[in-house]
């Protein structure tokens, strides 16, 4: 009682302590999520030129697009598509507003008429577009929203309709905007003349090339400071986005040798009958094995990961693994177990026959209500269609010459034009029942065959390219790890993680006989090189709480587990010196070698210079300014450009090209005859300029836009 009294006396203090603890928890979370204190809004996907892309609307658009794109598109791909659409919309809309461009009501009606005039829902009795029907349709959509109404072959609701109208308006504005820009683009006659002369005016020249390779790399010292200075001087070439580098090891959930041996043993055991206790009859019963089963299809389908294929197969249908040997296996004997495409398989040979590779048949098709591609005019029931086909067969059995006369009864209008005849190969995509009759029977056979299209009266006219065919039953088991193997892998990765607490990642990888793999990616990437779509790994690597050297285990579909280590944090901006060393080193060496070569050049003529450097004088004729290739040297635009600045007979100063130092002498200038008119060339240049508007204008606008991208923190 004394203790309870003390608790009651201090109840106010306890309440205050609890309240302070909760307050500190909330405040701590606020500091952890600085956006809550700094005013950052996690409901804003991005801000573009001052306009926010709101999370709710963004995710609504993502959901709609995902529905349209289907399962073939990942959520990240869909989000990227929606983001790019929103980005484009905002950037271009700001341009439209500045120019005062808009789509008015009358123009919107014209756009809708152009897009939907062929829909029966918007046509009158004379099949002419009726704006009143359009207005009524839109009003009905608005009234029943969010329910959908049929339009053509699909369903649509009011929100989707208004979104479609916005897209039409946006496309119209975009076309107008780009046309305005194109109207202001044209090449001048002076530019046309320069274009003509760059192709028509040529020079003949001689040159000496002193390759950079004449100076050994060992004589050129490049310091870290040299690399840094070069990168700063060419900063635009070495800008990078923020990225992370990880190293990782895999713990793969793969079938062990013991698992593989067990799978093969289980397949072999399927051959034999076995005694099993049956709960339903409270007694044992004999289950027939592969050797004695009287229902091959049911046996295979109940014991195999691949369903039974009741077809004769030719050599071309079989994999290279078995095609050369399986035809030698006697009927009723087995081939395997063998490994193929991730399965162990046991194959029993059921039959061998000589079969055609292609056939020529003719048929009469009698469809019925509900059959595939049946016309609306078809009224026969399946029973009536079958009776009609049987009567046609009876007539033809008495006189096959009447086949063509009876084609008027067939609904296959395509083959009717060829007297009902068609030829096809055994692997053509025909209805299986139609194909089976045509290939499994003999020339001259005729019967009624039902397919999803209706009832066919088929006559086999010819069978070509007779080859060996085989029918077989295959029981297949996918090669997968056993539960014991999966447990062993889990235990192994768990021990690896525990050891990492006090161990070295690289040393432990060696101890566990794991290959260390590396991957680099940016913050909005979905794929991790070598692992595929692994957004979870990207998020972890960019998490503010993940520090350099941290490790984490991830479950990877199709692999098992990986343990990753954050190896490098690369901030946005100028590339790190160590990452740029390889590409920059070659450029700096070129520059330093160029200076060394220039210092060694002596002589006043090309011959003297060539002899002094152990090189030869080369010639090139009809070199044009529009070409970047120098005969005998390769692509050297700087050298060719410099040559056209020389007078005839003049020798250039040393030119630092791509492959070495060049000295050029112009031996002849071949002037081009001027044209009377350059209008045609100017028109061609203008059209070429206008063709680039759609891509280049938006790219320029996007680069100039103020974009704050929060996707990585909000939805990715």
Average pLDDT of the residues in 365-372: 94
Tell me 514's DSSP state.
Answer: -
d(CA 711, CA 542): 13
Average pLDDT of the residues in 557-566: 95
d(CA 106, CA 95): 22
pLDDT at 8 over 50: no
pLDDT at 18 over 80: no
Please list the residues that pair with 356 across neighbouring strands: 466
DSSP secondary structure string, 575-598?
PPHHHHHHHHHHHHHHHHHHHHHH
Tens of pLDDT, residues 651-667 = 999 999 999 999 999 99
Average pLDDT of the residues in 553-574: 94
Tens of pLDDT, residues 459-482 = 999 999 999 999 999 999 999 999
pLDDT of residue 212: 96
Average pLDDT of the residues in 164-172: 89
Phi-psi region of 123 (alpha: psi -120 to 50; beta: other; left: phi over 0): beta
d(CA 580, CA 587): 11
What percentage of the chain exceeds 70 in pLDDT? Answer: 94
pLDDT of residue 38: 41
Tens of pLDDT, residues 234-272 = 998 998 899 999 999 999 999 999 999 999 999 999 999
d(CA 521, CA 529): 8
Alpha carbon of residue 637 to chain centroid? 37
Give the confidence band of 33 by pLDDT, cuts at 50, 70, 90.
very low
d(CA 289, CA 268): 10
Element (H or E) spanning 18, and its range?
A: helix 11-32
pLDDT at 53 over 90: yes
pLDDT at 34 over 70: no
Tens of pLDDT, residues 477-511 = 999 999 999 999 999 999 999 999 999 999 999 99
Alpha carbon of residue 62 to chain centroid? 18
pLDDT of residue 389: 96
pLDDT of residue 126: 83
Tens of pLDDT, residues 398-446 = 999 999 999 999 999 889 999 999 999 998 999 999 999 999 899 999 9
pLDDT of residue 14: 40
d(CA 675, CA 695): 33
pLDDT of residue 16: 46
**pTM as predicted:** 0.68
pLDDT at 17 over 50: no
Give the confidence band of 597 by pLDDT, cuts at 50, 70, 90.
very high
pLDDT of residue 30: 37
Cis peptide before 337 (omega within 30 of 0): yes
d(CA 142, CA 146): 8
Tens of pLDDT, residues 275-306 = 887 777 778 888 899 999 999 999 999 999 99
pLDDT at 395 over 50: yes
**Mean pLDDT, the chain, whole residue set:** 90
pLDDT of residue 4: 37
pLDDT at 141 over 70: yes
Tens of pLDDT, residues 59-74 = 988 888 888 788 878 8
* Across 25-29, 337-341, 409-413, least confident range: 25-29
Burial class (CB in 10 A: 0-12, 13-18, 19+), 579: middle
- Give the tokens for residue 345: 């398989």
pLDDT of residue 15: 45
pLDDT of residue 425: 93
Average pLDDT of the residues in 344-369: 96
């Amino acid at each position: 009682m004394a203790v309870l009294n003390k608790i009651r006396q201090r109840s106010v203090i306890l309440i205050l302590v609890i309240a302070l603890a909760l307050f500190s928890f909330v405040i701590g979370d606020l500091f952890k999520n600085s956006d809550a204190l700094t005013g950052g809004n996690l409901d804003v996907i991005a801000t573009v030129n001052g306009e926010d892309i709101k999370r709710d609307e963004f995710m609504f658009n993502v959901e709609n697009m995902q529905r349209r794109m289907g399962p073939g598109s990942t959520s990240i791909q869909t989000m990227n598509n929606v983001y790019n659409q929103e980005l484009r919309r905002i950037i271009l809309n700001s341009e439209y507003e500045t120019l005062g461009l808009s789509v008015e009501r009358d123009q919107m009606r014209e756009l809708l008429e152009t897009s939907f005039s062929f829909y029966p829902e918007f046509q009158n009795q004379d099949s002419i577009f009726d704006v009143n029907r359009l207005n009524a349709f839109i009003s009905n959509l608005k009234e029943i929203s969010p329910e959908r109404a049929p339009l053509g072959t699909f369903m649509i609701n009011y929100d989707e309709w208004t979104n479609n109208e916005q897209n039409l308006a946006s496309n119209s504005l975009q076309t107008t905007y780009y046309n305005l820009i194109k109207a202001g683009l044209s090449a001048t006659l002076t530019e046309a003349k320069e274009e003509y002369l760059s192709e028509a005016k040529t020079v003949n020249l001689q040159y000496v090339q002193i390759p950079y390779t004449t100076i050994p790399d060992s004589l050129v010292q490049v310091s870290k400071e040299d690399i840094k200075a070069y990168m700063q001087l060419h900063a635009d070439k070495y800008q990078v986005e923020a990225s992370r580098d990880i190293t990782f090891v895999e713990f793969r959930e793969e079938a062990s040798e013991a698992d593989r041996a067990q799978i093969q043993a289980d397949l072999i055991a399927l051959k034999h009958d076995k005694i099993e206790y049956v709960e339903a009859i409270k007694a044992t019963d004999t289950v027939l094995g592969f050797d004695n089963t009287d229902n091959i299809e049911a046996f295979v389908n109940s014991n195999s990961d691949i369903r039974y294929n009741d077809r004769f197969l030719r050599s071309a249908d079989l994999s290279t693994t078995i095609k050369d040997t399986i035809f030698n296996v006697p009927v009723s004997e087995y081939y395997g177990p063998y490994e193929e495409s991730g399965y162990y398989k046991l194959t029993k040979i059921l039959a061998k026959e000589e079969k055609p590779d292609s056939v020529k048949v003719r048929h009469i098709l009698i469809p019925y209500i509900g059959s595939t591609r049946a016309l609306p005019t078809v009224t026969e029931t399946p029973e009536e269609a079958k009776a009609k086909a049987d009567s046609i067969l009876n007539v033809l059995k008495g006189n096959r010459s009447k086949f063509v006369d009876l084609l008027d009864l067939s609904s296959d209008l395509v083959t009717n034009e060829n007297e009902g005849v068609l030829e096809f190969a055994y692997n053509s995509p025909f209805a299986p029942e139609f194909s089976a009759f045509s290939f499994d029977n003999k020339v001259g056979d005729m019967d009624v065959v039902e397919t999803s299209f209706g009832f066919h009266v088929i006559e086999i006219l010819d069978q070509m390219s007779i080859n060996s065919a085989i029918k077989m039953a295959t029981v297949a088991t996918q090669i997968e790890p056993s539960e014991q193997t999966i447990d062993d892998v889990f235990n192994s990765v768990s021990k690896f993680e525990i050891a990492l607490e006090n161990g070295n990642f690289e040393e432990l990888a060696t101890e566990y006989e794991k290959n260390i793999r590396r991957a680099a990616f940016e913050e909005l990437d979905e794929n991790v090189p070598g692992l595929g779509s692994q957004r979870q790994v990207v998020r972890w690597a960019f998490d503010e709480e993940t520090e350099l050297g941290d490790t984490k285990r991830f479950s990877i579909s199709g692999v098992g587990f990986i343990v990753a280590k954050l190896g490098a944090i690369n901030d946005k901006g100028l590339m790190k010196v160590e990452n740029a060393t390889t590409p920059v080193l070659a450029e700096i060496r070129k520059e330093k070698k160029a200076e060394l070569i220039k210092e060694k050049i002596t002589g006043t003529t090309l011959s003297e210079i060539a002899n002094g450097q152990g090189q030869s004088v080369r010639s090139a004729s009809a070199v044009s300014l529009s070409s970047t290739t120098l005969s005998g040297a390769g692509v050297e635009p700087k050298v060719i450009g410099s040559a056209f600045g020389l007078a005839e007979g003049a020798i250039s100063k040393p030119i630092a090209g791509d492959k070495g130092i060049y000295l050029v002498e112009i031996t002849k200038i071949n002037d081009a005859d001027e044209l009377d008119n350059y209008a045609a060339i100017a028109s061609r240049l203008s059209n070429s300029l206008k063709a680039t508007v759609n891509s280049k204008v938006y790219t320029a606008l996007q680069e100039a836009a103020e974009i704050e991208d929060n996707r990585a923190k909000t939805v990715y």
